[in-house]
Structure 1
Amino acid sequence: MTPLGVLLGLLLTLAARHTTGQDVTTHDRVVVCYFGSWAFYRPEEGKFTVDNIDPQLCTHVVYAFAGLDETSHKIRSLDPNLDLDAGGGHGYYRKFVELKRLNPRLKVTIAVGGWNEGSKKYSDMAKDPVKRAKFINSTIDFLTTHGFDGLDLDWEYPARRMGIPEDKQNFVKLVEELREAYEPRGWLLTAAVAAPQSIISVSYDVPKLSKLLNYIHIMSYDYHGKWDQETGHNAPLTGEELSVNATLNTYLELGADPAKLVLGVPLYGRTFKLVDVDRHEVGDPTAEKAFKGPYTREDGFLGYNEMCEMRAAEPIAWTTRWDDEAKVPYVFHKNMWVSLDDEQSITNKVELAMRYELAGAMVWTLDTDDFRGNCGTKYKLMRAINHALSTAQRGTEPPPTEPPTTPEPEPEPEEPKSTAAAAACHLPALLALTVLSLAARG
């Protein structure tokens, strides 16, 4: 490429970044992005493919999910036609790994497990040394064949859902043996872990897992949902027990290394159907069933992209309220009530994570952000996360009991006081002049 072409490319990159917001080049923290492969089957504007992933918004991307064969005890594809190339398949494993061509620093891993996989077959595998060995060897073959950089364990949950009490220590044995196999190969080993204290105490030996895993992805969401039959927040930042702050305190008090913890941020909300349209405060009664969105089509679940489009279609109809105690918003219209995060609540969560000096943030899942930009900027929530990671204060004081609410508007920026600052500020203009000069010489 000619010098003119190089400079034009750099100028376009800078211009795009200026208009679209922040990415992972603006900070040194971890941004783990889960990709729900099933979003391929969503209708119309909700369909999400590997090509929709912006690899500049994440440091790690995780393919969800692979499964466990309960007979062979080996890892397996849950959707061969989508995951693999064989037989005319879509080859999503290959395409997912090829994202590293667009961002060579990107780490690409695969998650095994998930809610639908259950717990029992993982419990049966983990308690038997022979079955553990079969599983571990199969993952080595799997990662080598497909080119993944590591494995994310998403067993939901040890010692729960038909598991046994010994799962807590058997999970540690499994992780120990995986670590021994993976370390010489330079592979990552992570785990997605639960948020409620009632599960943490039963399922995880936190100090041991903290030493063995590269990162621990905290699923700090689904604190409340339609199952409660009363309105509640999907991911309240503060609260006595079921809140993000309480979850972080639990893991840290149990001995987790904060540098290994990655705070989960939901890019979706939980829906409820009010019993009485005139009762729409937090804790008011709701029906057994809620409502679903046009893309995700799951009762009680609504992607941020679905919600923003619904509000854009009827902007006057929807009422938005901010819960200053939980530090999150909620919206309602007639008998529909939704708890979900927005840019401000996500910023508050990231700021709290940085005060605890955590490794960074994790999102579930990319395909429920406004990835098409139908409501404005593409990936608005992902950009809010990266922006907050680049600007938040880190560990300068103990984490506050009550994280900050919506900040005051920032003052207009002053003129840069140093030569270096001035050069950085005017870099796009300098590049433009250089491009024009080179063009004139050509």
Structure 2
Amino acid sequence: ETVEDHEQAVVCYVATWAVYRPSRGRFSLDDVDPLLCTHLVYSFLGMDNKTYTLMPLDYEYDVNKGGFEKAIGLKKVNPRLKVTVAVGGWTEGSEKYSRMASSPKLRKTFIDSAAAFLRKNNFDGLDLDWEYPANRGGKPEDKENFVHLLREMKEAFQPYQWILTAAVGAGSSTIDTAYDIPKMSEYLDLIHMMGYDYHGKWDQETGHNAPLYARIDESPVQQTLNVNFSVHYYLSQGAPPEKFVLGLGLYGRTFLLTNSSNPGIGAPARKSAFAGPYTREDGFLGYNEICEKLLTEKWSLAWQAAHQAPYMFKDNMWVSFDDVNSLGLKVAFAQRLGLAGVMVWSMDTDDFSGQCGNRYPLLNSINRNLALHAKSRFQERVSTTRPTMRPITQTSKQSTPWPSVRPSSPSSLWPSISDNLLFFFIIISDRLL
């Protein structure tokens, strides 16, 4: 299945620096499959801290080697693809964006430069990735000024029908300080929640990069660090589900255990972790690196039942990540809540070249699950408009939760064959009883 088989958003960020990765990790825009995404987000542009205008962060690749032009050219394969550009990112910081947003004059300078850039390069819109208002050197008034920036930017974009989106943090403290959710929702076309980086080497204990749900043995604070809490928190604060996009991480977080005989969740870990051969970032492994390790090395693979996500370990190395099964559960979660769709950070760390099997296993699985949901919704609509006179014979089907860790997809469980689904077992901590 592709994006043509459903009507949900699949927003694909591309880390353009992936072109500098070695060997099988090198990813260029030629490797993009445009039929797997509804939106492609070219990441990143920056802002000049003196002129407060938009600027390429890699002029050689973006301009001289035609990066912008190649991105727009992907629309020839998928004419419905929207190609936007992201401004900001973690390394750009927050302080200079705080200064810009605090001044009506500087906001206009920034917006004018953004509009000129979009016109010149034929992008469909802009994604603001300010990480984060009122944090990391920002000021408390950033929360209000961010809304001013969005409102003025939307007004400037409307004549051209450009898309305006934002990538937003998932932690409740960030949400509270950075975002006036009802007001910013008025001006944004889509809100991309970064539903990952809940845990990492900075915790000095093992944790999952993107837990779907909390464990009952976690502390009250830790129980807020999961996708379920973050999404419901945004919705409870006024985020419209039809504009809300759940971010999925196509990568894992790595740890080094202090004691290899204790490889569970919450085990003590060192300050530093380990890097992969392609992404070469301490504490980080792309899914393409993870699947190669699982194929070629002897790792133990485990499933955290409460988090509904996998992790793996070997000697003192430990990795939490998402796979086809856990992403399928997250997609189903997004669909149950009526969200606009999902986004991925980032498609260059999927197994894009098919080293472990088929190309883009994660993005293909995401689209397959979205298409399955679309088909089931269609079947529901058909069944409600077609009355039946036959007597109903009630059947039951029993299911255990562990098929989600088998190679087959959870989507193999078809609701049409049963009236009642009995789901075993009750989860208490990390054990199944």
TM-score range, shorter chain: 0.7 to 0.9
Counterpart AA for 1:282: I
Following TM superposition, by how much is the alpha carbon of 1:210 offset from its aligned partner in structure 2, in angstroms? 1.1
The within-5 A match list for 1:239-258 is: 239=214, 240-258=223-241
Question: After superposition, what is the alpha-carbon deviation per residue over 1:208-236, rounded to whole angstroms, capped at 9, x for unaligned?
Answer: 11111000000010000000000000000
Contact map agreement 1:234 1:339 (CA 8 A) in 2 = yes
Question: After superposition, what is the alpha-carbon deviation per residue over 1:346-375, rounded to whole angstroms, capped at 9, x for unaligned?
Answer: 000000000000000000001000000000
Instruction: Give the distance between the partners of 1:274 and 1:115, measured in 2 at CA.
Output: 27
Identify the match of residue 170 of structure 2 among 192, 195, 204. 195
Give the corresponding residue for 1:130: 105
Give the corresponding residue for 1:376: 357
Instruction: Give the distance between the partners of 2:411 and 2:43, measured in 1 at CA.
Output: 39
The within-5 A match list for 1:365-404 is: 365-392=346-373
SS in 2 for 1:370: coil
Give the corresponding residue for 2:45: 66
Counterpart AA for 2:291: C
2:235 counterpart of 1:261:
no
2:320 counterpart of 1:339:
yes
The within-5 A match list for 1:23-34 is: 23-34=2-13
In structure 2, the CA distance between the partners of 1:212 and 1:410, relative to structure 1 (3 Å rule), is same
Instruction: Give the distance between the partners of 2:243 and 2:39, measured in 1 at CA.
Output: 14
Contact map agreement 1:272 1:337 (CA 8 A) in 2 = yes
The within-5 A match list for 1:25-104 is: 25-84=4-63, 89-104=64-79
Instruction: Give the distance between the partners of 1:107 and 1:154, measured in 2 at CA.
Output: 17
Contact map agreement 1:318 1:332 (CA 8 A) in 2 = yes
Following TM superposition, by how much is the alpha carbon of 1:310 offset from its aligned partner in structure 2, in angstroms? 1.2
In structure 2, the CA distance between the partners of 1:98 and 1:335, relative to structure 1 (3 Å rule), is same
The within-5 A match list for 1:43-442 is: 43-84=22-63, 89-239=64-214, 240-314=223-297, 317-392=298-373, 406=404, 407=410, 409-410=412-413
Instruction: Give the distance between the partners of 1:408 and 1:136, measured in 2 at CA.
Output: 44
**TM-score normalized with structure 1 length:** 0.84
**TM-score normalized with structure 2 length:** 0.86
Q: CA RMSD in A?
A: 1.6
Question: After superposition, what is the alpha-carbon deviation per residue over 1:235-281, rounded to whole angstroms, capped at 9, x for unaligned?
Answer: 00001310000000100000010000000000000000010110000
Instruction: Give the distance between the partners of 1:124 and 1:409, measured in 2 at CA.
Output: 52
Point out 4+ residue stretches in structure 1 off by more than 2 angstroms.
Answer: 392-396, 404-411
Contact map agreement 1:355 1:394 (CA 8 A) in 2 = no
Following TM superposition, by how much is the alpha carbon of 1:390 offset from its aligned partner in structure 2, in angstroms? 1.2
Q: Percent identity?
A: 53
Following TM superposition, by how much is the alpha carbon of 1:410 offset from its aligned partner in structure 2, in angstroms? 4.2
Counterpart AA for 2:33: D
Contact map agreement 2:43 2:85 (CA 8 A) in 1 = yes
Gaps of 5+ in 1: 1-21, 397-403, 415-442
Instruction: Give the distance between the partners of 2:247 and 2:282, measured in 1 at CA.
Output: 22
Instruction: Give the distance between the partners of 1:342 and 1:252, measured in 2 at CA.
Output: 26
Contact map agreement 2:369 2:411 (CA 8 A) in 1 = no
Contact map agreement 2:13 2:40 (CA 8 A) in 1 = yes
Instruction: Give the distance between the partners of 1:122 and 1:410, measured in 2 at CA.
Output: 48
Instruction: Give the distance between the partners of 1:408 and 1:261, measured in 2 at CA.
Output: 23
Paired positions, count: 379
Instruction: Give the distance between the partners of 2:330 and 2:48, measured in 1 at CA.
Output: 37
SS in 2 for 1:56: helix
Instruction: Give the distance between the partners of 1:97 and 1:410, measured in 2 at CA.
Output: 39
Counterpart AA for 1:117: E
SS in 1 for 2:123: coil
Gaps of 5+ in 2: 215-222, 381-400, 405-409, 418-433
Instruction: Give the distance between the partners of 1:296 and 1:408, measured in 2 at CA.
Output: 31
Counterpart AA for 1:108: V
Instruction: Give the distance between the partners of 1:342 and 1:65, measured in 2 at CA.
Output: 26
Following TM superposition, by how much is the alpha carbon of 1:409 offset from its aligned partner in structure 2, in angstroms? 4.7
In structure 2, the CA distance between the partners of 1:310 and 1:118, relative to structure 1 (3 Å rule), is same
Following TM superposition, by how much is the alpha carbon of 1:341 offset from its aligned partner in structure 2, in angstroms? 0.2
Counterpart AA for 1:290: A
Instruction: Give the distance between the partners of 1:165 and 1:91, measured in 2 at CA.
Output: 39
